[in-house]
Amino acid sequence: MTSADLLLRARPDSQALADRVVAEVWEAGALGVEERSGDEGIELIIYLSRPTEPDIRSVLEGLLTSERIGEASEPLGEMDWSEAWKDGLEAIVISPRLVVRPSFVAYPLEDGQQEVIVDPGQAFGTGGHESTRLALEWVDALSTRGERAVRVLDVGTGSGVLGLAAVKLGAGWALGFDLDRGAVTEAQRVAKGNGLGTDLALFAGPIEALGEGVFDLVLVNLLRSEMLPIAEEIATKLSPEGNLVLSGLLVSDRSKVLATFGAFGLEERGERTVQDASGAVWSAPLLGFAR
């Protein structure tokens, strides 16, 4: 059990900024991060050891104003961050066909309902974030339309949840990759835990490392700043009749993203949106080549 010496509270003013804070405090040595949403917006509770406090505080001060960073305090009692994360977590029902849940939460599946089991970890993607949920909804919706994907590409796979959900819902095979080697290791663990260790192939590296070939379904859950520099490479990996799901975007990103992908011959086929607790609206457009 890894116990935290201290905790720090931070209040980023947007979900996009919260995601960046989480990523950077992990790199700075955080033992765990708990995200809470309420009437006052987003609060991050960062669990840490005393030696890492200067580095983590430096990260926070580089991203947030001083009034949004609390003072360090000791956790109440012996605190295991991984156990603390379990409080309040529950199964996420995407549809009557798909559920995403932590391993420590039981959920009685309906007839024909599939599940992906993902525990909180350092890799992004447990189904709880709005952008992940929107992408999962598209995976489910496309499978119900009879548009079975034989080959799926999961760009920036994180925990592997999107590729695994596609396989659970009938895709023949999925390939996921991430620049973060730790995320790929986590995705491999999650795939094996779901009995899909051979159905989701994984590698750590850039999209340029992909070989020849195209995919029936391409899933991209990245921030706009991560997505647009590789937009052309993403477009070249989509089959002529394939579907491209983009998520990780705020509605304010929409016009620039659509224009960028439009330059490579892709047009919008649909959109899903959701508002988070902070009031930010997330967008997940579905794109494809003109038919």
Do the Cβ atoms of 131 and 102 come closer than 8 Å? no
pLDDT score for 126: 64
pLDDT of residue 75: 65
- For 250-268, what is each residue's pLDDT tens digit? 899 999 999 999 999 999 9
Asked whether residue 31 falls in the same domain as residue 170, the answer is no
Q: Is the same domain home to 130 and 272?
A: yes
Above 80 in pLDDT, residue 147?
no
Q: Quick one: average pLDDT of 66-77? A: 80
Q: Is residue 79 part of a domain?
A: yes
Q: Kindly provide the b/e burial profile for residues 231-270, where b requires at least 16 CB atoms within 10 angstroms of the residue's own CB.
A: beebbebbbeebbbbbbbbbeebbeebbebbeeeebebee
pLDDT tens per residue across span 197-224: 999 999 999 999 998 899 999 999 998 9
Same domain? For 161 and 127 the reply is yes
Closest CA to 166 of 195, 192, 128, 200: 200
| CB burial string 129-167: b at 16+ within 10 A, e below | bbbbbbbbbbbbbbbeeeeebebbbbbbbbbbbbbbbbb
**Residue 1 confidence class, pLDDT cut points 50, 70, 90:** very low
Percent of the chain with pLDDT strictly greater than 90: 58
Same domain (yes/no): 59, 100: no
118 & 156 share domain: yes
pLDDT in tens, 97-115: 999 998 888 999 989 999 9
**Average per-residue pLDDT in the chain?**
88
Same domain, 49 and 101: no
Domain boundary among 84, 104, 138: 84
Q: Please check whether residues 17 and 40 belong to one and the same domain.
A: yes
Spell out the residues 6+ positions from residue 200 whose beta carbon is closer than 8 angstroms to its own: 154, 160, 163, 164, 167, 174, 175, 176, 187, 191
Q: In this model, does residue 84 exceed pLDDT 60?
A: no
Q: Please identify, among 27, 61, 84, the residue that sits at the C-terminal boundary of a domain.
A: 84
pLDDT value for 3: 62
Structural domain for 57, as ranges: 6-84
Confidence of residue 86 (pLDDT cuts 50, 70, 90): low
